[in-house]
């Protein structure tokens, strides 16, 4: 079982963000980076599938500047066999441009599965996986919360609004992984040591045409909220009055 896992390096979301002077990017000072949450689940799924198959390997891919090598080393420490950096000065917001670069790298790789997180937590768009699948002419299932793979076929579950759907697909395929399927393992000290010796190739990213750009970024308007109307059950009638007369939701 040969599996590629496409990762993204994203800022830690717990930090306080501020907008840079160009008004279309984040102020870099103080940002720390990590592997995207969903990407970690995708990597874990890939590692488990290879373990279960008893043979094969997981290859970790990440597009971006040299800082992404840290993310790739983490993937190697968790158990990926090798890593590829698709080098680009910055990662475009346009998922189709990123998908083109990934597809160019993946197309002759002979992968049984190509895994992505359901979305990157920074751009929160969820487009790169299915777009890459189209460019590779592979079947694609997105936002998978449960997965079984056997004998060249897979069965996946997707959570819908108030329902779930069961999806069957043939391999090779592109899958995007939702939360709840697996917790990403922690790298062991042994893994971290081994990662230093594993191959990490760097190749220029062949980004596609960009037709979606960031016009501006802003912090969300402070909600006019922050209004505590009272304490305890005695405040309930006032709340109901406000909901009726001011918010007009009753």
Query: Which positions from 221 through 240 interact with other proteins, judged by CB under 8 A?
Result: 223-233, 235-237, 239-240
Which residues, numbered 113-132, are part of the site for other proteins (CB under 8 A)? 121-127, 129-131
Which range binds other proteins by CB under 8 A, 58-66, 72-80, 169-177, 197-205?
Answer: 169-177
Q: Which is nearer to other proteins, 56 or 130 (CB)?
A: 130
Query: Would you say how long the chain is, in residues?
Result: 250
Measured from the CB atom, is 110 or 220 closer to other proteins?
220
Exactly one of 29, 160, 186, 189 binds other proteins (CB under 8 A); that residue is 160
Q: Which two tokens stand for residue 7?
A: 């990762």
Terminal Cα-to-Cα distance of the chain (whole angstroms)? 57
Question: Which of 180, 188, 196, 201 forms a contact with other proteins (CB under 8 A)?
Answer: 180
Residue with tokens 């990017």: 25
DSSP one-letter code for 250: -
For tokens 């373990």, the residue is: 51
CA dihedral (94, 222, 235, 239) positive or negative: negative
Torsion angle of the four alpha carbons 86, 88, 94, 100, in this order, in degrees rounded to the nearest 10: -40
Least distance to other proteins, CB of residue 56, Å: 22
The token duo for 95 is: 């998922």
Applying CB under 8 A, does 170 fall inside the site for other proteins? yes
Residues 38-67 that bind other proteins (CB under 8 A): 38
Kindly identify the residues of this chain, within the stretch 186-225, that bind other proteins according to CB under 8 A: 210-220, 223-225
């Amino acid at each position: 079982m040969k599996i590629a896992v496409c990762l993204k390096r994203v800022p830690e979301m717990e930090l306080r963000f501020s907008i840079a002077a160009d008004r279309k990017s984040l102020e870099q000072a103080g940002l720390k980076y990590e592997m995207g949450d969903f990407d970690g689940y995708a990597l874990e799924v890939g590692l488990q599938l290879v373990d279960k198959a008893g043979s094969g390997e997981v290859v970790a891919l990440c597009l971006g500047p040299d800082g992404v090598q840290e993310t790739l080393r983490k993937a190697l420490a968790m158990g990926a066999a090798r890593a590829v950096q698709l080098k680009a000065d910055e990662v475009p917001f346009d998922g189709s441009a990123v998908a083109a670069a990934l597809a160019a790298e993946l197309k002759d790789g002979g992968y049984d599965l190509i895994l992505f997180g359901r979305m990157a937590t920074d751009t929160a768009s969820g487009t790169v996986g299915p777009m890459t699948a189209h460019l590779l002419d592979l079947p694609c299932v997105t936002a998978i919360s449960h997965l079984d793979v056997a004998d060249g076929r897979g069965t996946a579950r997707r959570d819908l609004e108030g329902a779930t759907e069961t999806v069957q697909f043939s391999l090779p395929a592109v899958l995007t992984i939702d939360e709840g399927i697996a917790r990403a393992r922690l790298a062991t000290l042994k893994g971290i040591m081994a990662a230093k010796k594993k191959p990490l190739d760097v190749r220029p990213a062949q980004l596609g045409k960009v037709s979606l750009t960031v016009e501006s970024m802003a912090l969300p308007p402070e909600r006019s909220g922050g209004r505590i109307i009272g304490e305890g059950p005695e405040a309930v009638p006032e709340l109901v009055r406000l909901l009726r007369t001011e918010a007009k939701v009753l």
